[in-house]
Chains A and B, each alone.
Chain A
């Protein structure tokens, strides 16, 4: 390396502590509905290694999205521990980025302005910002659309723009809340491939919630299977395949069948009321 060491970012120096390690211990969360406490998450224990891609699948109502809201810090009312690199999560932070299902780009700003907004509260020098924004637009393959308004972008493009906005602050951890859920099947496959490429280029820790088992397996180093009422981790599946992956891999197909069988089976909780049973709709199982 011929780079002057003083110019290096801390992350590049060999002695930095782990970057992007998420540790969740005994996490529980309840909502008060009509005066009654209703648990949505119970006893969640999970550790993400720095740079790991982890997917979460589960039926609707298993608290997946709630889990991401807690991790990103939009909701701080929980029991247990959520720590990123040892620091307890209490509110939002530029260390933790999120991509929502609806892209949430502001319609009155161009793509460029939307992404730059994420840098407003950083100490990136103003002169550098335009360049960083341009780099991230290139990273998600949207060159030429810098001045486009969100309504001029297709759903897949807008979602890639939202990914660029979430990455521009270089978060240690990126949360993805069903980011491709609103896209049509073909666009979805394309953006999945894009997302894999972006993750391989960026290597920040990523945690993605999805309905789509195939998507979870294609992208995840591990897949967390959750069960509903209240949301619990039912199983953790290791996907021992190098990236970039081949969708046709027999292992992915075998794991997909296993997970689908697990999700559509009757819940195992003792004393579970049978009419409370939530089955994964066939449409979502795909």
Chain B
């Protein structure tokens, strides 16, 4: 909306300036990294210079190794997220609608929510091994909580006034659900899904560091064990960029789903 108030060229100029401004800190960070590695404050094997890291990244892309690790991680992320988010939605809606379910499950839910998901890794590894089921499970657990909480709040937050409008016009239950409850809860639920997804990515990479045979986290762990710090730093950069892309993509979907909202 604000963009329409300024002339298009001015708007474009502002957007361009914004993009430029967003580039400055990463460039500065790279420069700082370069300066520190040139200063030989740390041994070169520990603080690998940026150019070296980018060479490694390029080589790993050429060989397809990087794509394989990222692909494996993303695959786990999507399977685990679908399972965890679906369960979280169902659970959140149930405790929002049933006072009995709320009384029964919410204390346990809130307690488990306080446990860092990473703390479950040793347990899960004992039960599920270090294969795919373990990583899918960890992603599912990480996405379950934020999604369940968002769904609960969203359904509870539908104003009574809107249900009254439905009653005045004698809408059927199906119409009440599809035309009032679902659209009213979509914004909060989509936000919960986005938070769940980004949180799950972080937890996945961390658990791959601890126990895995492939994936971006395991790639970093192998690099550490073989003292290939360039590989570790490549992993840092790639996992950051992937997380950033996931967040941006989810935000775009979020904005599209709530475009009726006041700007």
- Contacts of A104 on B, CB cut-off 8 Å? 161-162, 164-165
- Contacts of B171 on A, CB cut-off 8 Å? 117, 120-121
- Contacts of B162 on A, CB cut-off 8 Å? 104, 106
Q: Does A74 lie within 8 Å of B167, measured CB to CB?
A: yes
Identify which of B167, B179, B180, B260 contacts A92 (C-beta below 8 A): B167
- Contacts of B183 on A, CB cut-off 8 Å? 106, 108-109
Complex Cα spacing A73 to B175, Å: 20
Contact bitstring A190-224, B, C-beta under 8 A = 1, else 0 = 00000000000000000000000000000000000
Q: Does B167 lie within 8 Å of A106, measured CB to CB?
A: no
Q: Does A120 lie within 8 Å of B167, measured CB to CB?
A: no
- Contacts of A74 on B, CB cut-off 8 Å? 164, 167-168
Residue of B nearest to A119 (CB): B169
Q: Which residues of chain B from 147 to 179 have any CB-CB distance to chain A below 8 Å in the complex?
A: 161-162, 164-165, 167-172, 175, 179
Q: Does B169 lie within 8 Å of A118, measured CB to CB?
A: yes
Q: Does B161 lie within 8 Å of A149, measured CB to CB?
A: no
Complex Cα spacing A163 to B65, Å: 64
User: B163: shortest Cβ distance to chain A, in Å?
Assistant: 10
- Contacts of B169 on A, CB cut-off 8 Å? 94, 117-118, 120-121, 169
User: B258: shortest Cβ distance to chain A, in Å?
Assistant: 8
Identify which of B168, B180, B186 contacts A106 (C-beta below 8 A): B180
- Contacts of A108 on B, CB cut-off 8 Å? 183-184, 186, 260
Q: Which residues of chain A from 77 to 115 have any CB-CB distance to chain B below 8 Å in the complex?
A: 92-94, 97-98, 100, 102, 104, 106-109
Complex Cα spacing A98 to B184, Å: 22
Q: How many residues of A contact B (CB 8 A)?
A: 22
Given the interface pairs A108-B183, A120-B171, A121-B170, the reply to whether A151 lies near B261 with Cβ below 8 Å is: yes
Q: Does B260 lie within 8 Å of A72, measured CB to CB?
A: no
Identify which of A72, A97, A117 contacts B179 (C-beta below 8 A): A117
- Contacts of B161 on A, CB cut-off 8 Å? 100, 102, 104
Residue of B nearest to A110 (CB): B260
Instruction: Kindly name the residue among B161, B164, B172, B183 whose own CB sees the greatest number of chain A CB atoms within 10 A.
Output: B164
User: B168: shortest Cβ distance to chain A, in Å?
Assistant: 5
Complex Cα spacing A93 to B261, Å: 31
Q: Which residues of chain B from 212 to 263 have any CB-CB distance to chain A below 8 Å in the complex?
A: 260-262
Complex Cα spacing A74 to B168, Å: 8
Residue of B nearest to A166 (CB): B168
Q: Does A72 lie within 8 Å of B262, measured CB to CB?
A: no
Q: Does B260 lie within 8 Å of A107, measured CB to CB?
A: yes
Q: Does A92 lie within 8 Å of B168, measured CB to CB?
A: yes
Given the interface pairs A74-B164, A108-B183, the reply to whether A93 lies near B260 with Cβ below 8 Å is: no
Q: Does A94 lie within 8 Å of B167, measured CB to CB?
A: no
User: A134: shortest Cβ distance to chain B, in Å?
Assistant: 19
User: A164: shortest Cβ distance to chain B, in Å?
Assistant: 13
Complex Cα spacing A19 to B187, Å: 44
- Contacts of A97 on B, CB cut-off 8 Å? 168
User: A79: shortest Cβ distance to chain B, in Å?
Assistant: 22
Complex Cα spacing A73 to B170, Å: 11
Complex Cα spacing A73 to B260, Å: 31
- Contacts of A120 on B, CB cut-off 8 Å? 169, 171-172, 175
Contact bitstring B4-40, A, C-beta under 8 A = 1, else 0 = 0000000000000000000000000000000000000
Identify which of B168, B179, B180 contacts A98 (C-beta below 8 A): B168
Contact bitstring A112-149, B, C-beta under 8 A = 1, else 0 = 00000110110000000000000000000000000001
- Additional A-B contact list (13), CB under 8 Å, known A106-B162, A106-B165: A92-B168, A93-B170, A104-B162, A106-B179, A106-B180, A107-B262, A109-B179, A109-B260, A118-B169, A120-B171, A121-B171, A151-B260, A151-B261
Q: Which A-B residue pairs are the 8 nearest by beta carbons?
A: A151-B262, A108-B183, A108-B260, A121-B170, A118-B169, A92-B167, A149-B260, A104-B165
B residues within 8 Å of A by Cβ?
A: 161-162, 164-165, 167-172, 175, 179-180, 183-184, 186, 260-262
Return 9 A-B CB contacts under 8 Å, by A number: A74-B168, A93-B170, A102-B161, A104-B165, A107-B261, A108-B186, A117-B179, A118-B169, A151-B260
